[in-house]
Each structure stands twice: as structure tokens, then as C-alpha cells.
Structure 1
Amino acid sequence: MPELELLRVDHAPALLAFERENRAYFAASVPDRGDSYFAYFDERHGALLAEQADGLCFFHLLVGDDGEVLGRVNLVDVEDGSAELGYRIAERAAGRGLATAAVREVCRLAATRYGVTTLRAVTTLDNTGSRTVLTRTGFVPTGEIPVDGRPGMGFVRSEPGTR
């Protein structure tokens, strides 16, 4: 059974493999990270760990029994009891309920461990799977907004620890 783990230094190789293997799959629904993301991955990984140590962000990996990264669920811009939620699940792991379970767990952690009572999220309108995960985990639509030039929807979830 996959486990949710807070990002660590030793996750770097498996996380890089996850991002490389799923690059085209992710780019179909979210903006591509670009070649520089991969070229400077180690430096970026270190910067993420520093942000996490400062309590500005909390990065979680969904890790399989074999150590393979199956997904990410991140809380970014943590401030004044709110944060933005973002997530991505590997193509080969999609459709199995892993995103819903992982997002639900991060919502619980947000309230109980990180002191976050309001979460925001955005997705494109054509990303039905992402919209479904958000509504299943207690997010409510706040209105249409552009997401990198595409039609999108904003969502909010208050008091995440109560669902």
C-alpha cells in the first residue's frame, strides 16, 4: 500500500525518475516544467527542502512499496492559516483512488500538523479527474479563472481537518 511521506533528501532520485517518466502525461493537463527543471533538479530539490524547513511549504510524496514515487501532494505558500494545494499522480497509478486518498490525508495533516485551516486549489476545466478529486475531498468551486491561458476553476476548502 502506498505511503505518504514528507519530502526528504534521499527522495531525489525516485522523484526525478517520476517527473521524467510522467513529463508528457502531466504536460497534457498542466504547464510543462521545462528543460531547466530537469537540468537543475538537484539545486531545486535543495531549495524545496529549505522552504519546507522554514515552514513555507510542505511537500509530500506518495511512495510505493518498492520506493517508487507514485505521486506528489504539496502545500505551498503556507501563511496565516492558509495554503495552496497542488498534486499529480503518475499515469500508471491514475484511476485507482490514490489521488483522492492522498489529498484527503494531506488535508488532515494541514489542519492537525501544519495549522492550515483554509486550502485553495485550481485546475483546468478539461481536467475532469482533478475536479473530481477536489470535490470528493471537500473542496467547493469558487468560480472560473484562467489557468496558464486555459479555462480553469478555483476551489477552496475550509477547516480541512473536519472532513
Structure 2
Amino acid sequence: MTIISRLTAGHAEALLAFERENRAYFSASVPDRGDGYFTGFAARHRELLAEQEAGLHHFHVVEDADGTLLGRINLVGVRDGSAELGYRISEKATGRGLATWAVRRLCVTAVQEYGLTVLRAETTLDNAGSRAVLARTGFRPVEEVMFGDRPERRYVLDLHGGTVPAP
């Protein structure tokens, strides 16, 4: 069984290993986090948990039944009933519908636990997998912009009235 759980201090080691293991894979579709991300990981992890405690963000991990970290899915920049959705699924777990499942589950959580009414998301135009996940989960494209030197599309999902895509 796959689960989504709120990020805790206890996830730090597994999350760092996940990011290291998938660094090259993620860099193919999003800008690399840089070496500083990895060398300063412990301090940044503590900062993010403090920001989560303050209600600024909601961070989650996606884990397999044996506790293997398969991905992360987050709601960042929480304000006025909205947040930005972001997710990363490990290379070994792609192609199985995990990202779609996780986004649907987090949409339910966003409404029921966090009281959110609107989610935003962004992805580069060359990231076909992420664009497909957003389309399958009800996100509507709203504009195209540049992300550094790469074209990107912004999306929005209206959660008013508790209407969320079926998990």
C-alpha cells in the first residue's frame, strides 16, 4: 500500500537520499537544485519544518508499504485559501500512475485538512508527464511564461465547494 504522510524531521535522511538518487533524473525536466542544496540539507530541512509549523507550507512524502520514499508532494506559499502544488516522483516509480494518484489524494487533503480553495501549478512545456498529470487531475492551463530559458505553463484548479478529482 502506498501512503502520503506529512513531512517530519524523521524523513530527513530518506528525503536526502531520494534527492541524491534522483538528481540527474529531476535535472532533465527542472533546474538542478545545486550542490548547496545537498551540503546544507539538514539546516534547510529544519527551516522548512518550521515554516510548515507556521502554516506557510504543507510538505508531504509518498512512501511504499515498506517505507521506501517514492516521491514528495507539497503545497507551498499558502495564503488566502490557495497554494502552489509541486511534486517529484522517483525515476523508478514513474509510469505507474503514482503522481496522478498522489495529486488527487493531496487535493482532497487540501480541502478537508487545510481549507484550501484554489491550487496553482507550473511545469515546463517539455515535461509531458507532468503536464499529463495536471490535465488528468483537473488543472486548467492559464498562461505560458518563461522559466529561465525554458517555456513553462501555469495551471489552476478551483476547489470551491469541496469539488476535487476522484482519488
TM-score range, shorter chain: over 0.9
Partner of 1:33: 33
Q: How far apart are residue 66 of structure 1 and its match?
A: 2.0
Q: Provide the rounded CA distance (Å) in 2 between the counterparts of 1:151 and 1:133.
A: 18
Contact 1:85 1:119 in 2 (8 A): yes
Show the 5 A alignment for 1:1-163: 1-159=1-159, 161-163=162-164
Query: Root-mean-square deviation (CA), in Å?
Result: 0.9
Q: How far apart are residue 86 of structure 1 and its match?
A: 0.4
- The share of aligned pairs that are identical, in percent, is 60
Unaligned runs of 5+ residues in structure 1 are: none
Q: Provide the rounded CA distance (Å) in 2 between the counterparts of 1:145 and 1:71.
A: 26
Q: How far apart are residue 148 of structure 1 and its match?
A: 2.6
Q: Provide the rounded CA distance (Å) in 2 between the counterparts of 1:54 and 1:75.
A: 13
Deviant stretches of 4+, over 3 Å: none
Q: Deviations over 1:128-151 (max 9, x none)?
A: 000000011110000211123201
Q: How far apart are residue 60 of structure 1 and its match?
A: 0.6
**Aligned partner letter, 1:43:** A
**Aligned partner letter, 2:39:** A
